[in-house]
Amino acid sequence: MAELTEDQTLIVETARAFAQERLRPNAARWEHEGLDRGVLQELAGLGFAGIYVREDVGGSGLSRLDAALIFEELSRGCIATAAFMSIHNMCAWMIDSFASPEQRQAWLPQLTAGEKIASYCLTEPGSGSDAAGLRTTAKADGNAHYVINGSKAFISGAGFSDLYVLMCRTGEDGPKGVSTVLVEAGTKGLSFGKQEDKMGWRAQPTAIVNFEDCRVPADNRIGPEGEGFKYAMKGLDGGRLNIAACALGGAQDALDRALAYVKERRQFGKRIADFQNTQFQLADMETDLAASRALLHQAARKLDAKTPDATKFCAMAKRFVTDTAFRVADQALQLHGGYGYLADYEVERIVRDLRVHRILEGTNEIMRVIVSRDILKA
Ligand SMILES: Cc1cc2nc3c(=O)[nH]c(=O)nc-3n(C[C@H](O)[C@H](O)[C@H](O)COP(=O)(O)OP(=O)(O)OC[C@H]3O[C@@H](n4cnc5c(N)ncnc54)[C@H](O)[C@@H]3O)c2cc1C
């Protein structure tokens, strides 16, 4: 990573040291015990709870490229924790970018300090990829309140988080009728379904979020009515980079583990590393991750520069990096033979964790929809 600035090198070193000391030794345990709130606060202490939030509210004021570097390193320690922080960061950025000065001051200092954690609520049982079809409603009750009814599905942090960044319908059908409203934990009418039993990301809670005559102040709406879908999609541009960066970090960890293993394990009187098949496989894995990193960083630079093709590049990076990272992690498992299938070696957890990166924040099919729509429109 010779192209990094001195500051970026320091950021990478800080994130790497934390991930190796505080995350990696605990990742397997957290699958059973759940997220460690104290660790999330420690991450906030390093400035990682508001990475690209402005500094006047406690953010770190860093770039998307910086965030990609941070999330890759954190994910080399624990994919589930890193990805969870990435969603919190996406929510904080949406508030920083689209909320009023008063709302920014009211919410962001606690979020950037890690005292409060935020969840992103877009998906519904009936609308996943077709997110603009969402049906959760927020009906005005006089001028001062909304009454919210509906359900959100698959919400990361449901029941754990303190603030829910909710995309809901305040107007017509389709994207133009969607608004963004903040709902605090503890609000009457807000409840959670059972924790989902998942293939990966098991350290993280995921559940349905229900709203039943849930009354929130109209002041909790971010921006004007009807702008919420736009905010949600803008949040996802950066979110997709982070999800890709987390996939890259997980795959790098898997490759590191495979490199160590093939130098130790012997069969047919040789180290596994001495078979040319192994060597070529490792060479391809290293190349694939370098290509992924290059595309990810290019997309992050474009988002930082707000270029017109940034959304397309974020989608391309998310699709390419998450598919590649999953394949590399699976190859790392294969190089471990039967031991790769055992939890003790931890590669199987990485494979399980990385599977969902190809599904969420827009499936990889939807990434292809975004890219093909863009290149065919000319
Ligand atoms: C562990 C986990 C955590 C999540 N966390 C969150 C969260 O915090 N907040 C949140 O809002 N959501 C979250 N999600 C939801 C996630 O974003 C959705 O699952 C995802 O967007 C897909 O929606 P769906 O599951 O309804 O699938 P569907 O949209 O029903 O898709 C099913 C299949 O059809 C394909 N498909 C759909 N439409 C098209 C099309 N036009 N062209 C081609 N193929 C298509 C899809 O790619 C997919 O393969 C999470 C999901 C999981 C599994």
Spatial distance between the Cα atoms of 18 and 49, rounded to a whole number of angstroms: 14
Q: Is the CB of 363 under 6 A from ligand 1?
A: yes
* pLDDT tens figures, 273-324: 999 999 999 999 999 999 999 999 999 999 999 999 999 999 999 999 999 9
Any idea which residues carry the catalytic annotation?
A: 361
Report how far ligand 1's centroid is from the alpha carbon of 362 (Å). Answer: 6
- DSSP letter for each residue of 25-82: TTHHHHHHH---HHHHHHHHHTTTTSTTS-GGGT-----HHHHHHHHHHHHTT-HHHH
* pLDDT tens figures, 355-378: 999 999 999 999 999 999 999 997
CA nearest ligand 1 atom 35, residue:
365
Q: 295 and 320 in contact (C-beta within 8 Å)?
A: yes
List all residues 6 or more positions away from 11 whose beta carbon is below 8 Å from its beta carbon.
Answer: 62, 66, 69, 70
Pocket test for ligand 1, best of 164, 359, 367 (most atoms within 8 A of CB): 359
Spatial distance between the Cα atoms of 215 and 138, rounded to a whole number of angstroms: 9
Q: Is the CB of 179 under 6 A from ligand 1?
A: no
- Name the 3-class secondary structure at 271: strand
Residue where the block lists tokens 């990475």: 51
- H or E stretch at 324: helix 310-335
Report how far ligand 1's centroid is from the alpha carbon of 312 (Å). Answer: 19
List all residues 6 or more positions away from 372 whose beta carbon is below 8 Å from its beta carbon.
Answer: none
| Sign of the CA dihedral with 30 first, then 122, 168, and 68 last | positive
Q: Is the CB of 372 under 6 A from ligand 1?
A: no
Q: 331 and 320 in contact (C-beta within 8 Å)?
A: no
Per residue in 5-34, is it b (16+ CB within 10 Å) or e — as a string? Answer: eeebeebbeebbebbeebbeebbeebbeee
Q: Is the CB of 128 under 6 A from ligand 1?
A: yes
Report how far ligand 1's centroid is from the alpha carbon of 220 (Å). Answer: 27
Note the pLDDT of residue 378.
72
Q: Is the CB of 199 under 6 A from ligand 1?
A: no
Report how far ligand 1's centroid is from the alpha carbon of 129 (Å). Answer: 5
Report how far ligand 1's centroid is from the alpha carbon of 133 (Å). Answer: 13
Pocket test for ligand 1, best of 360, 364, 370, 371 (most atoms within 8 A of CB): 360
* pLDDT tens figures, 10-60: 999 999 999 999 999 999 999 999 999 999 999 999 999 999 999 999 999
Q: Is the CB of 155 under 6 A from ligand 1?
A: yes
Note the pLDDT of residue 254.
98
Report how far ligand 1's centroid is from the alpha carbon of 283 (Å). Answer: 33
Find how far residue 231's CA is from the centre of its chain: 16
All domains in the chain, ordered by first residue: 6-112 (1.10.540.10), 118-226 (2.40.110.10), 229-376 (1.20.140.10)
Q: 209 and 152 in contact (C-beta within 8 Å)?
A: yes
* pLDDT tens figures, 227-282: 999 999 999 999 999 999 999 999 999 999 999 999 999 999 999 999 999 999 99
Spatial distance between the Cα atoms of 313 and 234, rounded to a whole number of angstroms: 13
List all residues 6 or more positions away from 300 whose beta carbon is below 8 Å from its beta carbon.
Answer: 63, 64, 65, 67, 68, 241, 317
pLDDT of 1 higher than 60: no
Beta strand pairing call for 163-169 and 118-121? parallel
* pLDDT tens figures, 48-71: 999 999 999 999 999 999 999 999
- Tell me the pLDDT band of 3, cut-offs 50, 70 and 90: confident
Report how far ligand 1's centroid is from the alpha carbon of 339 (Å). Answer: 32
CA nearest ligand 1 atom 45, residue:
365
pLDDT of 2 higher than 70: no
- Name the 3-class secondary structure at 247: helix
Pocket test for ligand 1, best of 87, 136, 322, 363 (most atoms within 8 A of CB): 363
Q: Is the CB of 356 under 6 A from ligand 1?
A: yes
List all residues 6 or more positions away from 45 whose beta carbon is below 8 Å from its beta carbon.
Answer: 114
Q: Which atom of ligand 1 is nearest to the CA of 131?
A: 21
Q: Is the CB of 123 under 6 A from ligand 1?
A: yes
- H or E stretch at 353: helix 347-355
Q: 195 and 32 in contact (C-beta within 8 Å)?
A: no
| Sign of the CA dihedral with 179 first, then 180, 182, and 187 last | positive
* pLDDT tens figures, 325-358: 999 999 999 999 999 999 999 999 999 999 999 9
- Report, in angstroms and rounded to the nearest whole number, the Rg of the chain calculated over CA atoms: 21
Spatial distance between the Cα atoms of 367 and 236, rounded to a whole number of angstroms: 11
Spatial distance between the Cα atoms of 157 and 81, rounded to a whole number of angstroms: 11
Spatial distance between the Cα atoms of 83 and 243, rounded to a whole number of angstroms: 6
Backbone angles phi, psi at 146, to 5 degrees: -115, 150
Q: Which atom of ligand 1 is nearest to the CA of 364?
A: 47
